[in-house]
């Protein structure tokens, strides 16, 4: 008996994977862009801030449109924006113009969240939804196993190569969208579109079923944003690790993410632990690891403990997203995925600025992360009351 392949699901995953490739390509280029544009590491962090800020401002509007007019049309707009911004960043030789490209990318940066909404649309059960939402994380990890190593070898010769690849991947996404992708939103609604980026967030904070989930989720991603966007720069400043060596560290992260999302999430975490236990386990585990990372000195021990953090960090998104989507009306699921993405974007444009203040004052970013997660554990005392075992 042959297994029937869901072609639309496969198309959604491939499009999501191509978009993930672009994300994975950009992060390892940060150190080389510092040299290419003759700017400080502080200034280069604005490329993350710019993307996060404009993604936050535009995100809720895009995802409301996807609930009203369908995922496919809005996904095309987002991919087209990625194509144009990548092409622009490929050809520009001045940093301010590069920032313009990042801003364009941020304005149309709803690709992944809309893909996640589509995977949620086609999920028939809560368990299938959790598994589907973990698929992109597994693909992200698989890509990071090999790609950072390749870029560590190629970047010294051609710093703009990643952006030409990003342009090519976006073109492939457009090609697949028109030829193979079918609309997944069967619950379109003619609700009024709100332009205020805070409107959707405030709307769902009023919903008693998901309010504490959103607060807890945002608290956690604040702690992650302290380090994850600027990891290569952190390793260089704290341990004098050469720029290209950071690629190998990110490959290790990718291997863990791939194993955790593609295999352990379904076969271990969701199989042997209740949802309530996972919420507690992930938060307490992250808190303990942050405390350890704040005072560990040897690089080898720091990396071992840091890799352990990745196991816990990468079960956060699927369990929180799955529970939040489960408690949201069908016709609002694109919007709620947009809210989650907006919260991540908000942390992305706030924390790089705080990060540099901590580094200049020699304040451990992991101590701050531990404090934030401890606060979140207190929030969980309210959250757990709303979760069925």
DSSP 94: S
The reported pLDDT for the residue numbered 100 is 92
Check pLDDT > 60 for residue 4. no
Task: At 363, list the tokens.
Answer: 């304040």
Identify the pLDDT of residue 260.
Answer: 79
**Most confident of the following: 14-23, 27-36, 42-51, 169-178:** 169-178
**Do 109 and 81 contact (CB within 8 A), yes or no?**
yes
What distance in Å separates the CA atoms of residue 374 and residue 214, rounded to the nearest whole number? 16
For residue 210, give Cα distances in angstroms to 60, 96, 196, 220, 221. Answer: 17, 40, 20, 15, 17
Q: What is the DSSP string of 146-209?
A: HHHHHHHHHTTT-TTHHHHHHHHHHHHHHHHHHHH----------PPPP--HHHHHHHHHT-TT
Is 303 or 154 the better-scoring residue by pLDDT?
A: 303
- pLDDT tens digits along 26-55: 766 777 788 888 887 678 778 878 888 888
Q: Which has the higher per-residue pLDDT, 317 or 385?
A: 317
Q: How confident is the model at residue 383 (pLDDT cuts 50, 70, 90)?
A: low
Determine phi and psi for 38, rounding to 5 degrees.
55, 50
Q: State CA 285 to chain mean position distance.
A: 20
- Torsion 64-67-73-78 (CA) sign: positive
Contact predicate 127/267, CB 8 Å:
no
Q: Distance (Å, rounded) from C-alpha 325 to C-alpha 148?
A: 33
Q: Is residue 75 scored above 90 in pLDDT?
A: yes
Domain 7-181+201-386 CATH superfamily: MFS general substrate transporter like domains (1.20.1250.20)
Q: How would you classify residue 298: left for phi > 0, otherwise alpha for psi between -120 and 50, otherwise beta?
A: beta
Buried b (16+ CB within 10 A) or exposed e, 23-56: ebbbbbbbbbbbebbebebeebbbbbbbbbbbbb
Residue 305 confidence class, pLDDT cut points 50, 70, 90: very high
User: How confident is the model at residue 293, as a pLDDT?
Assistant: 92
Task: Name the pLDDT band for 374 (thresholds 50, 70, 90).
Answer: very high
Q: Is the pLDDT of residue 385 over 70?
A: no
The predicted structure's pLDDT at residue 2: 45
pLDDT by residue (tens digit) across 76-105?
A: 999 999 999 999 998 988 999 999 999 998
C-alpha 60 chain-centroid distance:
16
* pLDDT grade for 389, boundaries at 50, 70 and 90: very low
pLDDT of residue 59: 76
What's the angle, vertex CA 309, arms to CA 307 and CA 311, rounded to 5? 85
- Residue 3 has a pLDDT of 47
| Integer-rounded Cα radius of gyration of the chain | 20
Q: Give the range with max mean pLDDT: 136-145, 185-194, 200-209.
A: 200-209
Q: Is 235 exposed, middle or buried (0-12, 13-18, 19+ CB in 10 A)?
A: buried
Range with lowest mean pLDDT among 102-116, 135-149, 200-214, 337-351 = 135-149
Contacts 24+ apart (CB under 8 A), 301-307: 302/239, 303/249, 303/252, 307/252, 307/253, 307/256
What pLDDT does 84 receive? 93
Examine the pLDDT at 354 and tell me if it is beyond 50. Answer: yes
> Does the structure show a pLDDT above 50 at 188?
yes
Q: Which of 179, 144, 184, 168 is nearest to 82 (CA)?
A: 168
pLDDT for residue 45: 75
pTM: 0.70
Q: 3-class DSSP state for residue 227?
A: coil
Instruction: Summarize pLDDT for 249-292 with one digit per residue, the tens.
Output: 777 777 787 777 767 877 888 888 887 788 888 889 999 999 99
Contacts of 129 (CB under 8 A, 6+ apart): 119, 120, 123, 322, 325, 326
Q: For residue range 195-243, what is the model confidence (pLDDT) as tens digits?
A: 777 777 888 888 877 888 888 888 888 888 777 766 766 777 778 776 6
């Amino acid at each position: 008996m042959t297994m029937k392949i869901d072609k639309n699901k496969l198309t959604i995953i491939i499009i999501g994977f191509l978009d993930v490739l672009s994300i994975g390509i950009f992060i390892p280029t940060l150190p080389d862009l510092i040299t290419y544009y003759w700017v400080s590491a502080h200034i280069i962090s604005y490329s993350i801030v710019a993307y996060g800020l404009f993604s936050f401002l535009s995100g809720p509007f895009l995802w409301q449109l996807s609930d009203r007019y369908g995922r496919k049309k809005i996904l095309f707009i987002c991919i087209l924006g990625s194509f144009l911004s990548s092409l622009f960043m490929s050809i520009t030789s001045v940093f301010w113009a590069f920032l313009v490209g990042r801003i364009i990318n941020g304005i149309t940066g709803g690709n992944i969240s809309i893909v996640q909404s589509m995977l949620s649309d086609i999920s028939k059960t809560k368990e299938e939804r959790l598994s589907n939402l973990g698929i992109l994380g597994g693909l992200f990890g698989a890509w990071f196993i090999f790609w950072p190593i390749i870029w560590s070898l190629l970047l010294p010769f051609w710093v703009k190569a990643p952006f030409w690849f990003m342009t090519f991947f976006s073109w492939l996404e457009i090609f697949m969208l028109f030829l193979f992708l079918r609309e997944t939103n069967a619950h379109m609604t003619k609700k009024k579109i709100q332009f205020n980026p805070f409107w959707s967030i405030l709307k769902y904070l009023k919903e008693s079923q998901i309010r504490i989930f959103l607060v807890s989720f945002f608290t956690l991603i604040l702690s992650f944003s302290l380090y994850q966007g600027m990891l290569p720069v952190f390793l260089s400043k704290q341990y004098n690790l050469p720029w290209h060596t950071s690629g190998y560290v990110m490959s290790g992260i990718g291997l863990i993410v791939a194993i955790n999302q593609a295999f352990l999430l379904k076969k271990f975490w969701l199989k042997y632990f209740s949802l309530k236990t996972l919420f507690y386990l992930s938060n307490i585990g992250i808190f303990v690891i942050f405390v350890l990372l704040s005072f560990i000195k040897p690089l080898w021990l720091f990396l071992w403990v840091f890799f352990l953090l990745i196991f816990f960090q990468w079960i956060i998104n699927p369990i929180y997203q799955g529970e939040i989507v489960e408690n949201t009306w069908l016709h609002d699921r694109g919007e709620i995925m947009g809210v989650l993405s907006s919260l991540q974007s908000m942390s992305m444009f706030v924390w790089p600025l705080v990060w540099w203040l901590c580094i200049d004052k020699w304040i451990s970013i992991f101590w701050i992360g531990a404090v934030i997660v401890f606060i979140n554990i207190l929030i969980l005392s309210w959250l757990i009351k709303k979760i069925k075992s």
